Amino acid sequence: MERDTILLVDDSEIICSIIKDILESPDLHIEIAHTGEKGIRMARELRPTLILLDIIMYGMDGYETCKILKKDEETKDIPIIFITGNNDSNSLLKGFEVGAADYVSKPFIAEELKARVKVHMQNIKNQRKLQILMEELRELAITDSLTKLYNRRYFLDKINDLVKMDTIFSLILFDVDYFKSINDTYGHNAGDLVLTGLSQIFKLILREEDIISRWGGEEFMICLPNMAVEEAFKVAEKLRLEVSKFEFQYEDNTFHCTITGGIAEYEAKLPVDRNITKIDFALYTGKSSGKNCCILA
């Protein structure tokens, strides 16, 4: 089980020992620093889930320590609970002004300390879950659920960005040959296997900056930034040959498939739909010419 870490910054060894005994558990680890300077260094190194910070310490006090932590990009989002013997309103207000999320009064009650820490730890866990959910929703919005490649909408957004940056780029549109026959012969799961397999082949061969999308059905559109059409044709041919050599295995069946491609350099003076029509026509020409080939628009 992964343990959360609390960083305790207090110059009193006795206080640190008491708090550690109260809070440490199988899922919660306590690290200790006895000065503000060391607390800042440890916060940067450990990235704790929560910081308990004494206000009155020798050298750098808790207020100054908190200010520095909240200005640092690496530590600014870590919640800080002040441990304080000063319960007057000015001291507490100053603590919140420098970025504290909460405070615990000294001498503290063990159950109160546990309760305050528990509330903040739960808030942090809820934020983590929300971040994960938001990331999953973002992925769903921009990717194809089967192949995990970018979807058509996101792909069009990306090439629109390239046009705005006045970047030269080429496009390749691939279509799987005889895809209906694969589905009819081996079943739709075999067809899905082909689509995911092709996705992996494209990812392995293409550059990191290349943009790969599932255009729809058994079609894939690839954008090659900073690449003229002659070089793009070579890339398309390499992909076509690699696919033709690949052996797909589904249940007890082994089979090959081929792809046909249309290639064009994007013309910024033309609207996007005209560019797509141009490459679509090149693909259609290849399909009409016997398939398993690449055609320049």
Question: Which residues are part of the catalytic machinery?
Answer: 218
Kindly state the DSSP code that residue 58 receives in the 8-state scheme.
Answer: S
Buried-state track 127-152, b at ≥16 Cβ within 10 A, e below 16: eeeeeeeeeeeeeeeebbeebebbbe
Write the single-letter amino acid at 17.
S
Longest dimension (CA), the chain: 86
Place of tokens 């609390």: 6
The helix (run of H) or strand (run of E) holding residue 111 is helix 110-142
> Measured in whole angstroms, how far is the alpha carbon of residue 91 from the centre of its chain?
41
Sorted by sequence, the CB contacts under 8 Å of residue 148 that are 6+ apart come out as 199
Distance CA 294, CA 101 (A): 61
The helix (run of H) or strand (run of E) holding residue 221 is strand 219-225
Write the single-letter amino acid at 226.
N
Sorted by sequence, the CB contacts under 8 Å of residue 230 that are 6+ apart come out as none
Distance CA 185, CA 248 (A): 14
What is the number of other CB atoms lying within 10 angstroms of the CB of residue 220?
25
